[in-house]
Amino acid sequence: MDSIFKLNKQIENRIQQLEELSSNHIVENYVDNQTITGDSSNVERDVQNLRTENLKLRYQLDILKAAIEKLQSDHPDLPVVKRVSSNRATMISILKELERIFSNAFQKAFPTLTNVGVEFTRSEYADFQCNNALKLTKLLPKRKVQLK
């Protein structure tokens, strides 16, 4: 799971670099500054270098996005960090994430049961317990689910 967060952070950094490099504003300011100082001989070469770097970053971004999509399709139970802006990711609620993980586990273990709901016992020290055993033992016989 750490690899997803690291990969997401890399993507965020690459996107930010890409946005900075690809914006015409940077190139225009660079060209204007070089023209004002009288050093316009290297402008064309430097602009071409920026465009090449831009293409490289876009290519890397496409590779990273494809890797994330593959990772998410191979492991749908892993959390997804959505991009809010180009420089920060949203915080993940531990309770919501645990609820999602346990709901997926219940759904895989007992596909006939729907809307089981997840019950947690909270503690001061973030020691969470899932207390669905009693609820499941009451629901399973009603739905005629046999355990092996």
Residue with tokens 């092996």: 148
Quick: pLDDT tens for 47-99.
Answer: 888 889 888 988 988 898 888 888 888 887 776 666 544 444 567 777 888 88
- The secondary structure element, H or E, covering residue 121 is strand 120-121
Backbone dihedral angles phi then psi of residue 123, each to the nearest 5 degrees: -135, 170
**Residue 139 CA, distance from chain mean position:** 35
pTM of the model: 0.39
Quick: pLDDT tens for 113-137.
Answer: 777 788 877 777 777 788 888 888 8
Backbone dihedral angles phi then psi of residue 121, each to the nearest 5 degrees: -105, 120
